């Protein structure tokens, strides 16, 4: 018996813009209807895939409300059920399937995956909803075939699909299309403690395993590289990406001492120098350093006078030197002295040097060009000033390199010149993408360019309302855990058609291991129970050679790679 034999209710009214109202049959408990549930409506000619957005109770007469039955009178309650009292649900149609010549009917106009045996997702044509089913069309619970039809399956030979979770009430994988993930910038959102870091590791693991792109992760809290703490009363750890993919992931650290204290002995050191800091980098951290516009203007004067070494020159200047410069270049002495005083804070950053023996950013580029995935750890340098400065400096130069590569590929059309698609992961993204500075940062540029230069962002943030609306509208796929703030919820649905009906779905998520998926990489919005990040996942997703490698061999392999890069 298929789900088509057991209807849950009938469509009684609705519209294309507002959704459908469904009256539940008498034998269906309203308590079984959960917001976010995936339902199917069988129309006369088409099949509609829908999301449950609201549950209500109804009565046929006001007299029942005024004079309700006694709580102990089970007989009267059963008499009223279905006619006098009933449950209704609101559903939003998201996709429709009109059977063609390739699909077969089961005799009553309906189709199922049991009769429609598609071998690849490319054989199934799901269309946006342009109409609605007629009155009294029957509504059914989605089955495994429906999920496979809509969300595909991991072993689909035509697409890089990755199972990121399961529906709340079924044991069937929900897949996202990784090829579409890397086409645009994406976001993982949720308030603190909802599991954003675990979701990020899941998604990046899928990208690595399916070879959809290379990743550059700015790991503010050292959670992605080697291992991280698992939340809970008991102290335990989970494996990082370098443990899951020891031959594919490299760790660079801005604080080697802190990284070694955590037991990671194979990370590569990463240093930046004052002569690599440009005016645009300072503009991003102007709020952290409390720099005024006058200070930025005078920084331009200094850069014009001394070139790349202007910061070192400024830090070594005396009052007399500054006065002399101001007389020659019409600078403002007070602003330059304030700039000098505030830039001295950069000397406290462990990874900043007056000059570096190696171009470490070039080393990262070499790793990315070789198809390696890079995690940049910050250790004790995880304050916002340090994080924003290093992340912006590295990303600007890598993006500049990718622009050159993309231009060369556009000119030659040679597949060998095509750059590896790059996904840059940033945390606390609202700090980089705030409306006041987004047009001056490289991250705003990347988000707006989409995949023009083969570089996209993976935004991880707990305050989506702090991100510029134009940038949010360009975020292709949004994986959203629980949010409570109304402004944050509004931000999630920026640029999303029919987002108003999904607000109640997002508001009813559990605080752990649940997320709403919507956007470019999934055919329709869906609520999932996220895939556990545990030993089973390690075996399913990790490097197949990992099980045969000892820790000594892993470290030896990492040290060998380090030597190959000239360290």
List, for residues 539-549, the tens digit of each pLDDT value. 888 655 444 44
- Has residue 564 got a pLDDT over 60? no
Residues 6+ apart with CB under 8 A from 155: none
Whole-number CA gyration radius for the chain: 28
How far apart, in whole angstroms, are the C-alpha atoms of residue 397 and residue 276? 10
Check residue 377 and report its DSSP letter: E
Q: In this predicted model, what pLDDT tens digit does every residue of 518-535 receive, in sequence order?
A: 888 998 888 899 988 888
Whether pTM > 0.85 for this model: the answer is no
How far apart, in whole angstroms, are the C-alpha atoms of residue 322 and residue 335? 10
Mean pLDDT of the chain: 82
- Has residue 231 got a pLDDT over 90? no
> Is the separation of the CB atoms in 241 and 208 below 8 Å?
yes
Q: pLDDT band for position 498 (50/70/90)?
A: low
Residue 290 or 100, more confident: 290
All structural domains of the chain with their residue ranges: 3-152, 177-271+358-564, 274-348
Give how far the C-alpha of residue 526 lies from the chain's centroid of Cα atoms, to the nearest Å: 15
**pLDDT of the residue at 76:** 63
Average pLDDT over residues 347-375: 88
- Has residue 416 got a pLDDT over 80? yes
Class of domain 177-271+358-564: alpha beta
Ranking 3-17, 110-124, 434-448, 473-487 by mean pLDDT, the lowest is 110-124
How far apart, in whole angstroms, are the C-alpha atoms of residue 289 and residue 146? 54
Farthest-apart Cα atoms in the chain, separation: 98
- Has residue 559 got a pLDDT over 50? no
Residue 7 or 557, more confident: 7
**pLDDT of the residue at 207:** 92
Please give the helix or strand (H or E) that residue 104 lies within, else none: none
- Has residue 507 got a pLDDT over 60? yes
Q: pLDDT band for position 555 (50/70/90)?
A: very low
Residue 426 burial (CB count, 10 A): 24
**pLDDT of the residue at 102:** 41
Structure-token match 């920026």, residue found: 494
Q: In this predicted model, what pLDDT tens digit does every residue of 140-181 receive, in sequence order?
A: 998 888 888 888 888 888 888 999 999 888 888 899 999 999
């Amino acid at each position: 018996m298929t789900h088509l034999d057991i209807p849950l209710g009938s469509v009684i009214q609705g519209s294309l813009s507002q959704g459908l109202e469904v009256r539940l049959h008498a034998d269906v408990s309203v308590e079984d209807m959960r917001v976010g549930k995936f339902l199917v409506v069988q129309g006369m000619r088409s099949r509609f895939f829908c999301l449950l957005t609201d549950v209500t109770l109804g009565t046929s007469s006001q007299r029942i409300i005024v004079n309700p039955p006694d709580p102990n009178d089970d007989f009267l309650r059963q008499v009223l059920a279905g006619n006098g009292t009933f449950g209704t649900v609101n559903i939003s149609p998201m996709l429709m399937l009109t059977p063609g010549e390739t699909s077969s009917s089961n005799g009553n106009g309906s189709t199922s995956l049991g009769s429609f045996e598609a071998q690849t997702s490319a054989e199934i044509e799901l269309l946006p909803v342009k109409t609605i089913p007629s009155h009294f069309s029957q509504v059914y619970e989605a089955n495994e075939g429906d999920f496979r039809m809509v969300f595909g399956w991991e072993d689909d030979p035509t697409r890089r699909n990755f199972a990121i979770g399961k529906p709340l009430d079924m044991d069937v994988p929900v897949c996202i299309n990784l090829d579409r993930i890397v086409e645009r910038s994406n976001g993982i959102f949720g308030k603190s403690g909802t599991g954003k870091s675990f979701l990020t590791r899941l998604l990046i693991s899928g990208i690595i395993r399916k070879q959809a792109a290379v990743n550059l992760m700015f790991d503010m809290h050292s959670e992605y590289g080697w291992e991280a703490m698992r939340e809970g009363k008991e102290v335990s750890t989970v494996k990082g990406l370098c443990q899951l993919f020891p031959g594919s992931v490299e760790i660079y650290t801005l604080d080697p001492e802190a990284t070694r204290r955590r037991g990671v002995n194979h990370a590569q050191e990463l240093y930046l120098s004052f002569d690599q800091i440009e005016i645009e980098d300072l503009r991003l951290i102007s709020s952290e350093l409390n720099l005024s516009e006058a200070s930025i203007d005078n920084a331009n004067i200094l850069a014009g006078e001394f070139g790349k070494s202007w910061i070192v020159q400024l830090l070594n200047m005396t009052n007399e030197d500054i006065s002399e410069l101001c007389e020659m270049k019409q600078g403002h002495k007070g602003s330059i002295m304030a700039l000098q005083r505030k830039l001295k804070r950069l000397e406290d950053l462990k990874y900043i040097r007056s000059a570096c023996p190696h171009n470490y950013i070039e080393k990262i580029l070499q790793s990315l060009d070789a198809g390696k995935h890079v995690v940049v750890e910050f250790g004790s340098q995880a304050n916002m000033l340090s994080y924003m400065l290093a992340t912006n400096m590295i990303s600007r130069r890598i993006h500049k390199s990718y622009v050159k590569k993309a231009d060369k590929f556009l000119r030659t059309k040679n597949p060998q010149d095509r750059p590896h698609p790059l996904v840059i992961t940033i945390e606390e993204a609202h700090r980089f993408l705030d409306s006041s500075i987004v047009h001056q940062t490289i991250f705003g540029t990347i988000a707006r360019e989409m995949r023009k230069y083969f570089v996209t962002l993976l935004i991880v943030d707990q305050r989506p309302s702090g991100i510029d609306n134009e940038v949010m509208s360009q975020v292709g796929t949004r994986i959203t855990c629980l949010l409570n703030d109304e402004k944050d919820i509004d931000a999630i649905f920026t640029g999303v058609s029919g987002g108003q009906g999904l607000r109640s779905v997002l508001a009813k998520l559990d605080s752990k291991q649940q997320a709403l998926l919507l956007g470019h990489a999934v055919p329709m919005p869906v609520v999932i129970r996220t895939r556990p990040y545990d030993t089973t996942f390690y075996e399913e997703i990790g490097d197949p050679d990992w099980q045969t490698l000892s820790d000594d061999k892993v470290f030896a392999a990492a040290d060998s790679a380090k030597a190959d890069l000239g360290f």
